[in-house]
Homo-oligomer: A and B are copies of this chain.
Amino acid sequence: MSTASPAPLVMDAAAVQSILPEVDTLGAMRALFTELGKGQAVQPSQTLTLFPEDKGDFITYQGASTGANLFGAKLSPYLVQPGKPVITAWTVLMSMDTGQPLLLCDSGELTTERTAGTTALAVDHLAKPGAAKLAIIGSGKVAQAHLRHTAALRDWSDIHVFSPSLNENPELQQHWHALDTRVQCAQSAEAAARDADVIMLCTSSGTPVLNTTDLPPATLVTSISTNVANAHEVDPAFLSEADVYCDYRATTPASAGDMKLATEAGWSADSIRGDLAELQTTSCAAPSGDKPVFFRSIGLGLEDIFMARAVYDAAKNQS
């Protein structure tokens, strides 16, 4: 006879949204990459399953951590429907002690949070200690989350934001000001990035959104993933001019569009100076200071698992 386990928590999008202010996203990412660096967490490859009859697909992101005593999976379908496709994401989190589920939660919002939290962790490691000028390219939810998670990491004197839609949308401009009074809207990506110490690219663009030629040494440029095939927010040639870091050396180079294109042009993933697991465990070199710095993330299933755990912990603390 097994003792009965408590029923798993089920949290829909609204429940997750309401607990989010209590969730320590940056702390969750920090814990995850420390465990990954120590060999206490494992990141399997994601799997893509195409639905029959061109109905779409679903991607399964998995992860396991003996440090956190957890494993689980995020299922994220892309459902072809008349009109707009439906995209969702749900994570099931399971205990490594009991083999029972702890949480089933909507992860739409969490994916945005962990993407921004991962960039924030990179900024904390790779931006100059005295970095003061922040540029953000992109103005959507992902870009806003990037600001939320990096706002306290340095004493920013200037925060410049640019996106094509932001300039034509006074309401969105107000929203950004409300988020942080230091925010100023720029007229172009290059204007936003001028003299910046940190430039966060937070777009869903498949092609470069910033001219990276002649960026000053030690300037940090961060870049995220989108669904577009071979998406690259920077010119792949930039990788040969920068100190390159990524979220996870074992998986990023094969997925990141810029890295794939740069590899075709002669760049080698061997030149990656470090990843977040190595940065967290101080087992890679810091930026040289002689070149600009490029950080590229693709997102890991483990990030979804650790975000779900952070949500679970926050919900348990409240109840």
In the complex, what residue of chain B is closest to A77 when comparing beta carbons? B99
Q: Which of A67-75, A115-123, A159-167, A168-176 is the interface stretch?
A: A67-75
| A79 in contact (CB, < 8 A) | yes
Contact across chains for B52 and A58 when beta carbons are under 8 A apart: no
Query: If the complex has contacts A52-B39, A87-B99, are A72 and B72 also in contact, measured as CB distance less than 8 A?
Result: no
A228: which B residues are within 8 A, CB to CB?
none
Contact across chains for A44 and B42 when beta carbons are under 8 A apart: no
| A90 in contact (CB, < 8 A) | yes
A5, A73, A90, A99 — most chain B CB neighbours (10 Å): A99
Contact across chains for B42 and A51 when beta carbons are under 8 A apart: yes
| A308 in contact (CB, < 8 A) | no
A60: which B residues are within 8 A, CB to CB?
47, 60, 62, 73
Contact across chains for A77 and B51 when beta carbons are under 8 A apart: no
A8, A56, A81, A88 — most chain B CB neighbours (10 Å): A88
| A264 in contact (CB, < 8 A) | no
Q: Which of B40, B41, B75 contacts A73 (CB 8 A)?
A: B75
